[in-house]
Amino acid sequence: MRMSETAQAATAAAADDFRMITFSLGGKDYGVDIMHVKEIARADKFTYMPNAASFVRGVYNLRGDIIPIIDLRLFFHLPVDNVTSGLENMLILRIADRVYGTIVDRIDKVVGAASGAVQPPHPIFGDINIKYISGVVEKNGGLYIILDMLRIFSQAAGERPPPLPSPRHKADAERAEAAAEEPAPSPEAFPITIDDDPTPPANAATAASAAASAAASASAPAAASAAASAFWPPDYAAAVKALLPDLPSKSVQAWDIGCGDGRGTYSLACVLRERYPKARIKVWANDSDLLAISRAPNLALEEGEAPAYCRGFTKRGKMGYHFTRAVRDLIVFEYHDVVNGNHLPPLDLIVARGLFSALAPAHHDAVLRAFGELLKSGGLVILDENESLPAPAWQRVETDGVNAFARAPK
């Protein structure tokens, strides 16, 4: 009888071919495939990243590795428990070749289940968008909602990172399972370094960029902002200024997509201020690359770096040359992905240089619809020289040096 019970137990254990780390969010139990879990940690200090999405708590120094920290409660708009000790519970996840820290309410234990017992998600789990749930499973009287971390951190719509199982990731999973049975390390084991320089270190910003871009999903590749991370050449700035029409309104609204670290946006703002000296100007500057956009509001320049048409709007400070408030106040830098909806006022000008070259073709139609809905009559769209908008809905504007388009008359 004892041998029979032992055999049954062994059979049951073998059937539990899926293991997950369980945790709670907003009072509900969740699980994540243990193959994604690198380790477990607790911490209470994160380096703030300006202009990051609301769910990005900052970056963290994990034994010398700068990793982005995402609060899953904020990502899913769930209530946040009061933390009396100040320490946050974190799952350190490895998604493809990147590492992220995710904050949860409480980390419980390792739970094994049969993969065949995992059921597809049901719309009844309304706290979280069903697209982020890979399944649900009942085990030992508890019901666990299994999050699809690949989808949460996917970098492009319809595209997923490569599968994780490998000897390296198995070793991480085994360490995570052992850690789940032990007290979490103290925060002193993971010192955080905060730089007084308003411009974050490159490796920290790179990590946060990966987090924000991935968690927001469907991001245009960073190549879209590469061209924007440079000031406009003087002849190009002059050509844009000459192209801009007289406007009946005293308000000018512009949208700079893929603004990078802001150099191109500052070029645009300077040109607009020179062209419309008395107008109320607002430039909405977006990028899905936090590495770049986190530097933009406090962009520091070397002496002589700004082109001549911008130098009248700069002044010297402790960290180098900066743009004056006369230009900075014209710009709203925001972490945002153009494919995830765009809530903007009617626009006079859209600058999207390099966007369509970098954006997946599946998203082109949605972005074009947004352009058509947001652009005022007589408004312009400026693209890179190798890009175009489809006729007959759009017409090329004949000009030297600037590739511009306007909506065709109806």
CATH number of the domain encompassing residue 304: 3.40.50.150
Count of other CB atoms within 10 angstroms of residue 4: 8
158 and 229 both lie in a single domain: no
More confident: 195 or 403 = 403
pLDDT, average across residues 166-188? 43
Number of domains in the chain: 2
Q: How confident is the model at residue 205, as a pLDDT?
A: 44
Q: Which of 156, 184, 216 is the last residue of a domain?
A: 216
Note the pLDDT tens digit of each residue in 321-345.
999 988 988 998 887 788 877 788 8
Strand pairing class (65-71; 56-62): antiparallel
Q: At residue 1, does pLDDT exceed 60?
A: no
Q: Which of 158, 193, 216 is the last residue of a domain?
A: 216
pLDDT, average across residues 184-212? 38
Q: How confident is the model at residue 104, as a pLDDT?
A: 93
Q: Which of 216, 238, 272 is the last residue of a domain?
A: 216
Dihedral sign for Cα atoms in the order 132, 135, 138, 140: negative
301 and 393 both lie in a single domain: yes
Q: At residue 2, does pLDDT exceed 70?
A: no
202 and 296 both lie in a single domain: no
299 and 279 both lie in a single domain: yes
Q: How confident is the model at residue 228, as a pLDDT?
A: 57
71 and 196 both lie in a single domain: yes
324 and 371 both lie in a single domain: yes
DSSP-derived letter for residue 160 is -
User: Which tokens go with 358?
Assistant: 């970098």
377 and 238 both lie in a single domain: yes
Q: At residue 111, does pLDDT exceed 80?
A: yes
175 and 258 both lie in a single domain: no
134 and 229 both lie in a single domain: no
Q: How confident is the model at residue 139, as a pLDDT?
A: 86
Q: At residue 305, does pLDDT exceed 80?
A: yes
CB under 8 Å to 215, separation ≥6 — which residues?
Answer: 53, 55, 56, 70, 75, 152, 153
Question: For residues 111, 117, 123 and 124, what is the CA-based torsion angle, rounded to 10 degrees?
Answer: -70
Question: Domain residues for 277?
Answer: 223-407
HSE-CB at 263 with a 13 A cutoff on CA atoms is 18
179 and 237 both lie in a single domain: no
**CATH code for the domain of 134:** 2.40.50.180
